[in-house]
Structures are given as structure tokens and as C-alpha cells.
Structure 1
């Protein structure tokens, strides 16, 4: 039977190691609404949120209803010169597949439908069975799945892409938002609320109980103390342990592959970044006239039309952010490899920024998918995705994986090494 730990005024999270700087943090008691953070780097370790067993269930059930409604009615409608076209939410994906862009269709299917539904369903199943009999291996598998797929949920990015598409089209046609659009807005808000209403460390402790108490040096790192912290559930184990005894995930004192994997991914993204900006990302056929548009060309056109805020958003999301993220990660890999350990907190803040902004570069890919699905007026105007859309989506996804493969604890290892040499 699972331990019975109902909502209490206080909650004590296990001793753990910060996943960003490896500092050992002793068990901490939190009142409802309080947050535990790493004293060295400020990374959030655990939060004692109210009603963690009930709120995610309520948000999840409501989100599933909104998702179903977002596929029933019209999502957007477009009319120009007496000719109109309606689009459902799923047509953003099916149109890409019909036009041979299977990779883009798969990316949208996973980030907007598959992974979000798996995430919602897994949380609801785990919380529904939290005090009931359920195979421990199944619980562990679902828990690990929740932690791994969360960064890949992009419904909020897609929603911003819809709004940008709306602004792009307002000057040339009459655009109306259908009932499914408003249902999708509700689905996005409820999914975000669900994600923010559940704490990962609390969930694992709720499922399998607290870990063994340990005497820790609060100023030492886990590796120096011959311990290793689990990145999935936060439990501490002895160095050399293959799998976490609580969640079953593989344990590594540092991420396997070192910097080599990050270097390889970044070089790949640099190669893809070139065709992503040279080739057209979108091809507009108007009355038989073919007008391909690159990413920068679209920004210039929006600026010329007076859509300055949208042009700025596209420019930063599709040009500046991918380039800055690649350069920032290249620089971090370089300084870590060269052993330059000064100002570790500044380097960590730069790394956090690259992780946070990376997914928002998918806005332009979503905009292309929306326009291709909506504007299909064969005798008047049709929009097709360009080859750069595939390359750009590859850049965004690969840089996200590169940021995940970089081990920020290496930054603090350099500082520790300099102290020992002194």
C-alpha cells in the first residue's frame, strides 16, 4: 500500500542535490505556498502547493473537454474577394501531411496533440490511483514520462502563432475566429494551470514515501560527498548506484557523453541554420504569381506594412533567439572545456535563459502551418510551406536537445577545482 499523506499545513521534502549546481540541500519543511530553493544558485527545488491531489485532476478533466471542443467546430475562417475558406484545428496538421511535409506534421502532432494528451492522461491516472493499488513499475514509468515530456508541450507557443497569423492576414482578408479557437484558448490556459499546480518532488514523495535521512554537509557538492542526485525525483543515492531506488531512472554523477554530445548537436544546428535562413520558409501563390518568402523577407514585409510589434516578435523569435542560443551554448561549452570557472552564477543564468527561450522559436513554424492550412483558395491564393520550414524546425528541436544535454553542474565543478588548487 502507498503511504497516506493527505494535505497538511506543512510538508517536508527530502534531502536532495540541486540539479543545476550539485549542492547538497538538507530536508526542508515548507508551509502551504512556500518554496524551497538552492541557497547557492537559486534553483527551485520544491513547492508546497495547495490541493495538489485535486487541482490537477480538475484542470486535467476540464482541459480534455476543451481539447475535444477545439476539434469539433471551425477554428478560423478566411474570406477574400467573395471567396472563403474554413479551417479546423486538425487541418493545420493534415494539410502539411497532404503536401508531403511529414516531418512538420509529425512535430505538430506530437507537440500539440500527442504529448499534451499523454501528459494530462498520465497525471490524472497517477493522482486518481494515488491511494489505490497500482503496479509500482507502472507508476514509476508514468512518473518518469511526465518529467521527460513536459518541456516538449508547445500549445502556448502555437496559440501565439495563431495570433501572429491573425495579424498577418487582417490587412488582406476578413478573418474570423471560430468556437474551436476559443476552446483551444481554454485548453491552453487549463494545461498551463495543470502543469503549475503539481510539484514533481512532492509527487514522488507522495507515491513512494520519503527517502532515507542522511547527515549532509550543506556546503558540499553531491559528487564530492560520494552521492548522486536523481534528476527525475530528487532522491539521493550512493555514488556508483546504477538506478534510483525510488523512481528507477538511470543515475549519473554527470550527464553521459560530456560536452561531446552538446558540441555535435550544436554543430548540426549551425549547419541547418544556414538553409533555414537562405531558403523560403513560405511560398505564396496569388493569381498564378509565385512569391517565395524567407524568414527575414517576412519580417521586412511586416515592417513595411506597419505591423511593427509582430515584425519584432518574428525577428527576435526566429532570427535572434536561435542564433543567440547557439552562440551562448557554444560559448558555455568552450569556457567549460577550457576550464574557465569564474562567475559561475552568471554562466548559469545564461544557460537558464537559453533553456527558457528555445521553444519559442517554433512560432514561425506554427505560423506557416496555420497559413498553409487556412489559405487554400486554388483559383485565388494558396500558401505552401517552404523547405526552410523543415530546416528551421530542425534547428529549434536540436538546440533544445543540445541545451538539455549540457550539464550545468560542470560550471560549478570548475569553481570547485580552482578552490582546491588554491
Structure 2
């Protein structure tokens, strides 16, 4: 028999849209329903089934799969009578041995450290929901969950593995070990863990609903003298320093303004040049070294007839980083010059740049996989190239730039134009 918590409606908190700042009232949601911002369409909260149990179950299963993914052979490679096996962790240890500590740290954090912290924190908090736990520790763990979520890149790594397979199929015999299939399970279960928990529901269960408010639903939070918490969605008074529910620092607009976004974009644009000019990997075959740039790898795959994979790498590693930099430059310029036209179109462009940015890490992961797998000393060995570090820097910095850009500034311009009319 379904539990009453599954069938009972979920009453949301009064809040404001974190993307356009429009106030939204408290409302009741049936199971499977979501509350959207009426102005920009952003999902404010959702009523998901069994939120107290499903993330716990998925998280535990994902951790088991992670252990299995590190217990057996991940992939094996054989050519001309020589073979090499690779474990999952060998992708990282190879980078450390070759002196690429920055890349090793990126892989360690995005594939192991942060996902395990995320799942462990969810399991600990949900397990202790009905038990006493220090409120400061609960708030710290809850804020940590919200902040590290964008940096979980296990799914991107899995796509990188599949692209590596296509690259190697014409060169040698490739076999997938038990750890590969465990890693597929780990990836799918991590995605289910993330998608089965709603942020607002989570904070309500920890510290209860926020106080009811009479809201002007045609106004933004700042116009009404309010500020929305970007961690738990609670409303506070303008000028209030920290959220009363989750303890996060409150700010009506993201600190640093456009200046921080400009600085990050310029840095990423500078790094984009060596990322495409220098080799992203070096292949040593029978003593001869053959460097390969990102575009060179795309051309080679196209020549070998791997058109879909060549297109994926070209789009993910060349088009998306450049398009993201140009899109954010354009958005910053439009906001700085006071252009308030088509705010919804600008917001959709921003959402797209924020969503696709992490997928550019595919090429970095491909290099790590190939360098960890192909270590046939006298026949062929692949080493990461200097462009791998620059390219990883481009991806990470553009992600931070997108996070530092405040989309509410777009709607502030429209409000300013209405006031002048």
C-alpha cells in the first residue's frame, strides 16, 4: 500500500525565481507536479515520489557499484601480440606519473571525490532526518550538496570512454572488463540519486517551512524589499546577511557583478588559443612521436570514416567552448550597455551555455583514458599533451564564468525601462 507521504500534497514555500527574481507564492503540488516561474518558466520545485528513501537507496547502490568499478579490469587493449589492461584508477595514476597533477586532481575530484561526498552526504542527512543531529552540521552538509552538484562529471567521463573505444577499434582489439559495466551502473545510479531529490523539499524536511508572506506576484524580490536564498529558496529581508533556514550568505545579486564574469571570460579566451594550437596528446609509435591537436584528432577520425564521433568531438571540444565564451561575452556586453530587449531570449541563451559547458570535458577524459590504457613501451605509448591542461582550464573557467553571471540582471534592465516610460 502506498504511504500517506506519497499521496499527500506537498506545500511549497513562498519564494522567488533565482533566474528572473519574480516572486512566487506558496502552493500545493500533487505527486509528479512541479511549480514553474510564470515569467521565465524556470522550475522552482517539484513533488517527487519517496524523496526520503529513493536517494538513500540509489546512493547506497551507487557506492557499491563504485567499489566494484575499482575491483576489476576496466578495459584491455591488445595489438600485434602485446596487451595492456587498465583499471579505472589507472587513468588518474598515469597522469600523476607523467607530472600532470592538475589534470589528475580534476579527474579525482569530478569522478571520485565530489560524487562520493555528494552521495555520502545525502545518505547521512536522509538517514538522520528523524534522529537528532547538530543543526550546524546539517546546514553545512546541505549547503555542500547544493554547491558541488554542477561539478559531478561521471556521465561526461562515460561518453569519453565510448569515444575512446571508437578511436581504438581500428588499431587493436578492445575488451571491456567487469569494472566498465559496474561503472555504467555507477553513472546511472548517481544520475538517479541527483534527480530523485528536490532542493526545497529537502530543506523543508530539515528545518521546516518558511513563514507565510503576502506577496505582490507581479514584482521581483528586490522590488518588494526581499532577497531569495540561492541555496534553499527561502525569502529573507533585503539587507539580511544570512539565510535563517540554511545559513547561506544572502545577496540580492551575485557578488562581483559583471567584473568577475568579464575577468573569467578573458582568462578562458586566452587559454583557448594554446588549447587548440598545442598537441592535446602525443603518440609514440616505434620510437616516432606524433603529436595530435584537437582539430587534428577530428580530421583523423573523419578520414577514418568515424563521422558521428568526429562530429561529437568537434562540437564538444571546438564549437561549444568558443560559442560559450562568445555567448557570455555578448550577454555581458548587452547587460552592461543597458539593452533590455528580449530578456527571455537572452535567458534561454544563458541556460544553454550553462547546460552544455561541462560536456566539453569529453576530450580531456578521452586523453586520460588513452594515456592510461595504451602503454605498450616498445610499440606504442600515448602521453597527454600541454593542450590538455589549457583545455581543461578553459572548460572549468567558463563554467565558473557562467555561474558568476547573474541572469537577474537581464530582467533588471527590463524593469528599468518600464520605470522610465
Give the TM-score taking structure 2 as reference length. 0.99
Asked if the contact 2:6–2:31 (Cα under 8 Å) also holds between the matched residues in 1, the reply is no
Residues 38-72 of structure 1, C-alpha deviations (whole Å, 9 max, x = no match): 00000000000000001001101100100000000
Match of 2:389 in 1: 390
Structure 1: 5+ residue stretches without partners: none
Residues 4-35 of structure 1, C-alpha deviations (whole Å, 9 max, x = no match): x9444200110001000000000011000000
1:226 aligns with 2:225: yes
Mapped partners of 1:27, 1:237: distance in 2: 15
Match of 2:42 in 1: 43
Match of 2:331 in 1: 332
Mapped partners of 1:67, 1:37: distance in 2: 35
Match of 2:197 in 1: 198
Residues 151-204 of structure 1, C-alpha deviations (whole Å, 9 max, x = no match): 000000000000000000000100000000000000000000110000001000
Mapped partners of 1:223, 1:28: distance in 2: 21
3-state secondary structure, aligned to 1:220: coil
Asked if the contact 2:25–2:215 (Cα under 8 Å) also holds between the matched residues in 1, the reply is yes
3-state secondary structure, aligned to 1:223: coil
3-state secondary structure, aligned to 1:134: coil
Match of 1:106 in 2: 105
3-state secondary structure, aligned to 1:312: helix
Instruction: Tell me which stretches of 4 or more aligned residues in structure 1 moved more than 6 Å.
Output: none
Mapped partners of 1:151, 1:419: distance in 2: 35
3-state secondary structure, aligned to 1:324: helix
Structure 2: 5+ residue stretches without partners: none
1:274 aligns with 2:273: yes
Mapped partners of 1:270, 1:238: distance in 2: 38
Mapped partners of 1:285, 1:158: distance in 2: 24
Once the two structures are TM-superposed, the CA of residue 94 in structure 1 deviates from its matched residue by 0.3
RMSD (CA atoms): 0.7
Match of 2:9 in 1: 10
Once the two structures are TM-superposed, the CA of residue 395 in structure 1 deviates from its matched residue by 0.1
Match of 1:23 in 2: 22
3-state secondary structure, aligned to 2:39: coil
Residues 391-417 of structure 1, C-alpha deviations (whole Å, 9 max, x = no match): 000000000000000000000000000
3-state secondary structure, aligned to 2:290: strand
Alignment of 1:256-405 (within 5 A): 256-405=255-404
Mapped partners of 1:391, 1:32: distance in 2: 46
Match of 1:185 in 2: 184
Match of 2:62 in 1: 63
Give the TM-score taking structure 1 as reference length. 0.99
Residues 249-292 of structure 1, C-alpha deviations (whole Å, 9 max, x = no match): 00000000000000000000000000000000010000011100
3-state secondary structure, aligned to 1:393: helix
Match of 2:254 in 1: 255
Match of 1:216 in 2: 215
